[in-house]
Structure 1
Amino acid sequence: MSQPTLHDLHRPLGNNGPRVSPLGLGTVKLGRDQGVKYPNGFQIPDDDEARMLLKLARDLGINLIDTAPAYGRSEERLGPLLRGQRQDWVIVSKVGEEFSDGQSHHDFSAAHTRLSVERSLKRLETDYIDLVLVHSDGNDLAILNDSEVYPTLAALKREGKIGSFGFSGKTVEGGLKALEQGDCAMVTYNLNERNEKAVIDYAAEHGKAILVKKALASGHVCLNPGVDPVRASFELLFEHPGVASAIVGTINPLHLAHNVATAAKVLRRN
């Protein structure tokens, strides 16, 4: 049997966004192996392995790629790796969180937001980023109400440096407020954690975009014997009309192919 792909299953990222694959490739593991919450250790792939992984993702119909300044060297590696392929990818990056010396620190000021986006453009070797999300430290409402990050992203959107903007938060209140003023919310939604479902409901009603992080609970989903945790996870996600895409951060080609085949089966049945 041939490997199923996602080429004919792309859908809009919110009412006004680009068409994206229902699975996106998360790239934290291309840039950073410290302070990441996975059940097993891993080795950061070298350039050849990373290039093969990106080619496989593209061949399988994935066109959405998720990176961030906080993902170590991820952005600066993706720039050269994606040379000549810019039109093939919808790129998501972040602002607000930096990672150095094994520690995260946050800065939501106007100056840092602008500096961060300009630096991401250089690293990614592009003149625009499709979507930039605020990398929240958990104080979602304070960031949205009291910092300059959202107005600065709105200005960068007007300047054409970013296509759209939104928020990767940790609370329902933050997600709802982020969608009132922005284009997209990235939420945690999986078999273990469903409390942000209200944000997805709001997005579906208002034509806003939802990306799901930790769709497979970072590899921690446990189910009854004989139940495929990937399939059960995707069935939960894709039954909700508000979900545009789930970001899955694998560097294992077999896992990637299995994830795509499973998502394709679930979506074709829905």
Structure 2
Amino acid sequence: MSDSLHDLHRPLGATGLRVSPLGLGTVKLGRDQGVKYPNGFVIPDDQGARQLLDLARELGINLLDTAPAYGRSEERLGPLLRGQRHDWVIVSKVGEEFDAGQSHFDFSAAHTRRSVERSLRRLETDVIDLVLVHSDGNDLAILEQGEVYPTLAVLKAEGKIRAFGLSGKTVAGGKLALRDGDCAMVTYNLAEQAERAVLDEAAHLGKAILIKKALASGHACLAPGVDPVRASFELIFAHPGVASAIVGTINPLHLSHNVATAAQVIRTTR
């Protein structure tokens, strides 16, 4: 299938996991407050969410990105994925909580363990494939002075998670996250390329990079006649450090277009 990703899965760094070059972000399955999208949206009901996940799987997507800060996303995914756990690589987060319209952060050892064990229950699974620290922007302080990274290393040794890393906001944080962990999630798109050095470091170390805001949260726009999705993926997949880019659409047509475009770009550049 030339417009699917089934035969384009690639290693997630050195984790031993293989992932589709596009992952499905699930913030829109659980949260519609305090999200930075150009247009409003309605959280899909269970039938709509199930159809979206089925379509993603048919298109060759096996990577799902969720987080405790994504409202009800995790607790919805658990029942929706019953009987399919082996089909998916699940990424979740620790550190950020979202309550009553406000984010707050906790990078302590106790909260990290509680959060991972809660995510395991919500997702109805024995192991989360990758857990990322949901940074508040103070990447270096979190990694150097906090308890979250050592605690995730213990949880990995216990078999509760397979890999860990940082969803950060700085080059220095991304590089440190890769040195001591398995993965960095980095903003990289047509409008923002300040963290490119983290991608370079990942390629050098053989560690994993996931791209967030790949389509600039839906804001990507270029010259007339240029497909912003294609231009975005040409930029992202030209870099050897990138394992996968997360797209957060709940529109089946957009998802199909994203997959077809990514497949074409990857096939013509490899």
Shared fold per TM-score greater than 0.5: yes
Separation of aligned partners in 2, 1:27 and 1:89: 13
Contact kept in structure 1, 2:15 and 2:163, CA below 8 Å: no
**Aligned residue in 2 for 1:103:** 102
Separation of aligned partners in 2, 1:249 and 1:37: 12
Shift of 1:3: 7.0
Q: Does 1:218 align with 2:224?
A: no
Superposed counterparts of 1:70-85, under 5 Å: 70-85=69-84
Separation of aligned partners in 2, 1:263 and 1:225: 20
Separation of aligned partners in 2, 1:216 and 1:132: 23
Give the letter for the 2:232 counterpart: S
Superposed counterparts of 1:1-270, under 5 Å: 4-270=3-269
Separation of aligned partners in 1, 2:117 and 2:255: 31
Separation of aligned partners in 1, 2:110 and 2:34: 27
Separation of aligned partners in 1, 2:238 and 2:201: 15
Separation of aligned partners in 2, 1:54 and 1:116: 24
Give the letter for the 1:136 counterpart: S
Separation of aligned partners in 2, 1:237 and 1:53: 24
Shift of 1:221: 1.3
Contact kept in structure 1, 2:96 and 2:105, CA below 8 Å: yes
Aligned pairs, number: 269
Separation of aligned partners in 2, 1:104 and 1:17: 33
Q: CA RMSD in A?
A: 0.7
SS at the partner of 1:218? Answer: helix
Separation of aligned partners in 1, 2:247 and 2:115: 24
Separation of aligned partners in 2, 1:240 and 1:228: 19
SS at the partner of 1:61? Answer: coil
Separation of aligned partners in 2, 1:17 and 1:201: 20
Q: Which residues of structure 2 form unaligned runs of 5+?
A: none
Contact kept in structure 1, 2:15 and 2:162, CA below 8 Å: no
SS at the partner of 1:221? Answer: coil
Shift of 1:222: 1.7
Contact kept in structure 1, 2:2 and 2:263, CA below 8 Å: no
SS at the partner of 2:193? Answer: coil
Runs of 4+ in 1 over 4 A off after TM superposition: none
Change (3 A) 1:241 1:3: closer
Separation of aligned partners in 2, 1:25 and 1:127: 21
Give the letter for the 1:105 counterpart: H
Give the letter for the 2:50 counterpart: R
SS at the partner of 1:105? Answer: strand
Shift of 1:15: 2.4
Q: Which residues of structure 1 form unaligned runs of 5+?
A: none
Separation of aligned partners in 1, 2:241 and 2:39: 31
Q: How does the TM-score come out when normalised to structure 1?
A: 0.99
Give the letter for the 2:242 counterpart: V
CA deviation string 1:212-238 (max 9, x = no partner): 000000011120000000000000000
Separation of aligned partners in 2, 1:205 and 1:90: 24
SS at the partner of 1:236? Answer: helix
Contact kept in structure 1, 2:191 and 2:216, CA below 8 Å: yes
